[in-house]
Amino acid sequence: MVVRTSGSDRSCRPGDMKLPICSRARSGDRFLQQATKIRCSDAEIEISVALVGWSTDVQHDRDQFCAPDVSWETSGEITMKLYFSPGACSMADHIALHEAGLSFDHEKVDLKAKRTESGIDYLTINPKGYVPALTIDSGETLTENVAILDWIAHQDGALKPSGAMGHTYLLQALAYISTEIHKSFKPFFAGAEEDEKTKAAETILKRMNYLADTMKGDFMFGSDVSAADCYLFVMLLWAQKNGVEVPAKLEALRDRMRERPAVQKAMTHEGMM
Ligand SMILES: N[C@@H](CCC(=O)N[C@@H](CS)C(=O)NCC(=O)O)C(=O)O
Closest to 150 (Cα-Cα) out of 137, 138, 132: 132
Determine the structural domain holding residue 90 and report its residue range: 81-269
Domain identity same for 48 and 89: no
Q: Is 89 in the pocket of ligand 1 (CB under 6 A)?
A: yes
Task: Provide the β-strand partners of residue 51.
Answer: 32
Are residues 116 and 70 located together in one domain of the fold?
Answer: no
Position with higher pLDDT, 182 vs 20: 182
Structural domains in the chain (count): 2
Among 22, 46, 75, identify where a domain stops.
75
For 129-175, how does the pLDDT look when each residue is reduced to its tens digit (9 = 90+)?
A: 999 999 998 889 999 999 999 999 999 889 999 999 999 999 999 99
Residue bearing the bigger pLDDT, 90 or 71:
90
Q: Which of 109, 123, 131 to mutate to test the pocket of ligand 1 (most atoms within 8 A of CB)?
A: 131
Q: Output the residue whose Cα is nearest ligand 1's atom 16.
A: 130
CA distances from 35 to 14, 140, 153, 205, 249 (A): 10, 12, 20, 45, 44
Does 206 share its domain with 104? yes
pTM exceeding the 0.85 threshold for the entire prediction: no
Asked if residue 88 and residue 68 are part of one domain, the reply reads no
Q: Is 115 exposed, middle or buried (0-12, 13-18, 19+ CB in 10 A)?
A: middle
Mutate to test the pocket of ligand 1, among 82, 123, 130 (most ligand atoms within 8 A of CB): 130
Strand 32-40 with 141-143, pairing: unpaired
Q: CA nearest 135: which of 159, 171, 107, 111?
A: 107
151 lines ligand 1 (CB under 6 A): no
For 179-228, the pLDDT digits (tens) are: 999 999 999 999 899 999 999 999 999 999 999 999 999 999 999 999 99
